[in-house]
Structure formats: C-alpha cells, structure tokens
Structure 1
Amino acid sequence: MAWSLPVALFFMTIAGLLILFTLLAIRFPETPRLGVLRIETTRGDRLFISLLGSGFICLIWLFFFGGPLWWALAICLGYAAAVFRWV
C-alpha cells in the first residue's frame, strides 16, 4: 500500500469515526434496535455494516466502471444513511 495523502485521510476518517462513536456511546448510552434485518444492532454495528458494504460498493464500481470513485462515494453515503435509518 502506498502511504499517500488519500490513504492517510482514509485512516484518519476511520479513527475519527471510532472516537466519535465511542464518545457518543459514553454520552448517550443506547439499547440495541431491531431493524429490517431482524437482528439487534447498535450504532457501532451499523457503522461496521455501512463500512463493509461501502467497501464492496467501491470494489464493484471499480470492476464495472474503473476511474474516479466520486459517484461510488455518493452511493456509499446514501447506503450508509439507509443503514443507519433502517437497519
């Protein structure tokens, strides 16, 4: 892996999300929620599902379209919003 600015930003974003979700869990404790998948999920579970799904969306985008991932990023953000809303 080439350590470049985009790679550093990616890992800093993931670290920031983990810190943010830890602080949210401390400040606003939550109970697991039952969504459309019929499994109990917490904020952290939904974050993991959205990150994993976004990785697959980007891989599929690269396979079919290649090139820049800006449209894939838009799809990933929509997917993450849907996961946090309904899962």
Structure 2
Amino acid sequence: MLQWMVWTTPVAVFFICIGLMLVGMTVWELKSPTSLRKGFLPIATTRGDRLFIGLMIMAWINLAYVGLGEKMMDWFGLEDSPSLWIGFAVSLLVLAWVMRKG
C-alpha cells in the first residue's frame, strides 16, 4: 500500500516531527489559548496560523532541496547527492523563525 513512497530515515523523521508538533500545539492551545499577534508576516496570526504557514514553508524547502539535489551535485562537484538532513535542518530553522517572529 505504501510502496509508492520512499520511506527513508529523514522522511520518517520529518513526518514524525510534524505529527509531534501538531500534538504539542493542540495541548498547548488547550492549556493556554492564543491571541492574534502581528510579527513580520503581513497579517495578524495565532500560533496555529504560524505553524501552518511554517509547515507549508518547510514542505516547499524540502521539495526544492530534493528537486535540486542532482543540480547541486553538478554545481558543487559532489560525488553523491547532498544529505536530506541538511534540507530538514534548514526547514526546521525556518519553521522556528516563523513561529517565533512571524
């Protein structure tokens, strides 16, 4: 049933982290309801809004990183494609930034 997806360790960790974030945000919201806040994003957002926006950006960063993997091999003269952990780490940093300052 899941043969169409390449379930590597980075992919599994990525989805596990997303699931843990959703559970954590749900618990946080139940214990401490959020209010609208204006950060660098052009709209006032709640924690849930920033998480959604951050997760979308994470997905785009990871897709772009995977899509550009072969081109990065040519650009930087690498023998193997770059590690998926790099894209994952970059996307987590961007998510943390959006959650904190967005």
Normalising by the smaller structure, the TM-score range is 0.7 to 0.9
Paired position in structure 2 for 1:83: 98
Coordinate RMSD, CA, aligned: 2.1
Larger radius of gyration: 2
Alpha-carbon separation, structure 1, partners of 2:65 and 2:98:
19
User: Helix, strand or coil: the match of 2:98?
Assistant: helix
Give the length in aligned residue pairs.
Answer: 87
User: 2:14–2:88: 8 Å Cα contact kept in structure 1?
Assistant: no
Moved more, 65-74 or 44-53: 65-74
TM-score normalised by L of structure 2: 0.70
Structure 1 position 12, deviation (Å): 4.0
- The CA deviation string for residues 12-39 of structure 1, in whole angstroms up to 9 with x for no partner, is 4333322211111111112111111231
Runs (5+) with no aligned partner, structure 2: 71-80
Paired position in structure 2 for 1:20: 24
Which structure carries more relative contact order (alpha carbon 8 Å, separation 6+)? 2
Runs of 4+ in 1 over 6 A off after TM superposition: none
Q: What is the percentage of aligned positions where both structures have the same residue? A: 36
Runs (5+) with no aligned partner, structure 1: none
Relative to total residues, which structure has the larger strand share, 1 or 2? Answer: 1
TM-score normalised by L of structure 1: 0.80
Moved more, 14-23 or 4-13: 4-13
